[in-house]
């Protein structure tokens, strides 16, 4: 998870992030991007 400038915030936009000195391709996704694992009963 991270912040991007407004011009790159459209869902599906491919951006690059620098992680430990390497550039990784990432895609902007809709929140939440992890399935919920709790039960509301």
Residue bearing tokens 């939440």: 32
Range 18-39 average pLDDT: 87
Q: Which residues pair with 23 in a beta bridge?
A: 18
* Higher local confidence (pLDDT), 30 or 12: 12
pLDDT at 36 over 80: no
- The answer to whether residue 1 is domain-embedded is yes
- The answer to whether residue 38 is domain-embedded is no
pLDDT digits (tens, 9 = 90+) for 4-25: 999 999 999 999 999 999 999 9
**Total structural domains within the chain:** 1
CA-based R_g, the chain, Å: 14
- The alpha carbon of residue 10 and the mean position of all alpha carbons in its chain are separated, in whole angstroms, by 11
Phi, psi angle pair for 16, to nearest 5°: -120, 140
Q: Would you state the pLDDT for residue 24?
A: 95
Q: Would you state the pLDDT for residue 7?
A: 94
The residue segments making up the domain with residue 17 are 1-31
| Dihedral sign of CA atoms 3, 22, 24, 13 in order | positive
């Amino acid at each position: 998870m991270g912040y991007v400038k407004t011009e790159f915030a459209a869902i599906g936009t491919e951006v690059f992030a620098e992680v430990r000195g390497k550039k990784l391709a990432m895609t902007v996704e809709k929140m939440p991007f992890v399935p919920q694992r709790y039960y509301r009963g």
